[in-house]
């Protein structure tokens, strides 16, 4: 009976101590694993993390861990201790595309993460090369249907969001356009410009190329027109029910204590609602803070995107091999 008595006291002590440690968090810097090389994406995310660090009273340190299509950095984050001192940048590719298309290599799924919220998103732009006779989506559909398989679209290899967008477009419109793989979006777009491929999807960072006339915009994949290209229609306006918006968010390992999760989520939301962060993110017009930054909205968005992928992309159309 004495043993049971002391075990009962120990259990009460431990259960009471857990919230106390969570309330004292954070007491040291928080590591933010970025599963890709330094560039424009993590430079924008840094705007958010710097503000979050000020709110929490401890800096958020960005650590780039690129490799294997974001798998290396993301898996390191997922396997880290769920103590709030290691979180990660989360994108479609890292949260659901890689685990869905390459489960043998991913060794994790979205269920292994505590979603903290999507911070901001952007549109993609369906573009044609300046040497083509394709000046509109209608032109693309007409030429592709007249010559099945002859046109080429350029996109990064593997399961990039740009490849998924075009495979979805093919399914929704019934066209046959041949995929040409590239090691990165920049190389893919250079060959669209050069004429080795006729079409592709570009990111908002490609706006200078579009304004210079090196890429011809046909449509955007956001629900509404992009303010930077107000004369370019959405695909939905043209009767094609395709919405693709690359996004950047935050995630932590599964099992994060609820009290720490609540503080992290609140700090991220406070940072995103601040005037200076929103102004900095929206400065060049290539990204915007999402209306709902909650973890629930992030989980719902991931599930919706997976459902759209499974509906619009034919089985076997995309692989990592």
Contact predicate 157/254, CB 8 Å? no
Task: Read off the pLDDT of residues 122-145 as tens digits, 9 standing for 90 and up.
Answer: 999 999 999 999 999 999 999 999
How is the beta sheet containing 60-64 ordered, strand by strand?
60-64, 30-34, 86-90, 247-253, 113-121, 288-289
Q: Does residue 283 or residue 203 have the better pLDDT?
A: 203
| Least confident span in 40-49, 158-167, 188-197 | 40-49
Closest CA to 116 of 307, 302, 304: 302
Task: Read off the pLDDT of residues 45-77 as tens digits, 9 standing for 90 and up.
Answer: 999 999 999 999 999 999 999 988 889 999 999
Contact predicate 243/221, CB 8 Å? yes
Task: Give, in degrees to the nearest 5, the angle at Cα 91 between 119 and 158.
Answer: 160
Q: Considering all CA atoms of the chain, what is the largest pairwise distance in Å, rounded to the nearest integer?
A: 87
The structure's pTM equals 0.88
Q: CA 1 to CA 75: how far, in whole Å?
A: 46
Q: CA 25 to CA 23: how far, in whole Å?
A: 5
Tokens representing 319 are 């692989």
Q: 112 in helix, strand or coil?
A: helix
């Amino acid at each position: 009976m004495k043993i049971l008595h002391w075990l009962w006291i120990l259990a009460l002590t431990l259960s009471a101590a857990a919230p106390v440690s969570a309330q004292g968090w954070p007491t040291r810097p928080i590591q933010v694993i970025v599963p890709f090389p330094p560039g424009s994406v993590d430079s924008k995310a840094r705007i958010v993390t710097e503000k979050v660090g000020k709110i929490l009273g401890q800096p958020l340190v960005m650590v780039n861990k690129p490799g294997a299509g974001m798998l290396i950095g993301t898996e390191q984050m997922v396997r880290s201790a769920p103590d709030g001192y290691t979180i990660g940048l989360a994108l479609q590719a890292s949260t659901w595309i890689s685990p869905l298309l390459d489960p043998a290599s991913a060794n994790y799924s979205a269920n292994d993460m505590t979603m903290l919220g999507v911070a901001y998103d952007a549109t993609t732009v369906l573009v044609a090369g300046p040497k083509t006779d394709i000046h509109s989506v209608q032109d693309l559909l007409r030429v592709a249907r007249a010559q099945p398989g002859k046109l080429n679209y350029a996109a990064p290899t593997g399961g990039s969001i740009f490849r998924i967008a075009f495979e979805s477009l093919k399914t929704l419109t019934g066209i046959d356009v041949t995929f040409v793989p590239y090691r990165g979006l920049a190389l893919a777009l250079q060959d669209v410009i050069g004429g080795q491929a006729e079409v592709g999807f570009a990111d908002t960072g490609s706006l200078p190329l579009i304004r210079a006339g090196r890429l011809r915009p046909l449509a955007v994949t956001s629900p509404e027109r992009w303010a930077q290209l107000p004369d370019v229609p959405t695909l939905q306006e043209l009767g094609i029910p395709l919405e693709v918006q690359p996004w950047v968010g935050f995630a932590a390992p599964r099992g994060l204590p609820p009290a720490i999760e609540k503080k992290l989520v609140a700090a991220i939301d406070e940072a995103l609602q601040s005037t200076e962060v929103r102004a900095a993110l929206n400065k060049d017009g290539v990204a915007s803070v999402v209306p709902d930054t909650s973890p629930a909205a992030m989980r719902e968005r991931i599930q919706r995107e997976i459902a759209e992928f499974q509906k619009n992309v034919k089985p076997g159309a995309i692989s990592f091999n």
